[in-house]
Amino acid sequence: MRSFIGVLSVVALSAVLAAAADHPGKVSFDKSCKACHAADGAGNPGMAKMLKVTMRSLGSAEVQKASDADLKKAITDGTGKMKPVAGLTGKQADDLVAYIRTLKK
């Protein structure tokens, strides 16, 4: 019985991990955003220094209080020192917004 439960929890855990890895927004994030924003959205200090800007963590309350439309606009139109991210479909931008929501602290 115990080993059965053990197997079950391994299955459940891998399902959770696979779900996290498969977030469609994560694929785009890793490709188009991670270099500047870091994997967890906290921001790459080297990039912030180079651009002479304070990068807020994407999971922070300040960023999370923005509406989905505002976040999408930041991605497609740029914001402050961040240039618009080119080559994204509307669906990819929506997925990215959904992914940013998962970074909430």
By CB under 6 A, name the binding residues for ligand HEC.
32-33, 35-37, 47, 51, 53, 55-56, 58, 63, 71, 74-75, 79-82, 85, 96
- Give the count of alpha carbons within 13 A of 73, CB side only: 8
Smallest separation, CB 16 to ligand HEC (Å): 23
Comparing every residue's Cβ against ligand HEC, the nearest one is: 80
**Three-state SS letters, 59-105:** CCHHHHCCCHHHHHHHHHHCECCECCCCCCCHHHHHHHHHHHHHCCC
Euclidean distance between CA atoms 82 and 4, whole angstroms = 51
Smallest separation, CB 8 to ligand HEC (Å): 36
Closer residue to ligand HEC, CB minimum distance, 23 or 81: 81
Closer residue to ligand HEC, CB minimum distance, 4 or 34: 34
Smallest separation, CB 33 to ligand HEC (Å): 3
**Count of beta carbons in the 10 Å neighbourhood of residue 66:** 15
Smallest separation, CB 17 to ligand HEC (Å): 22
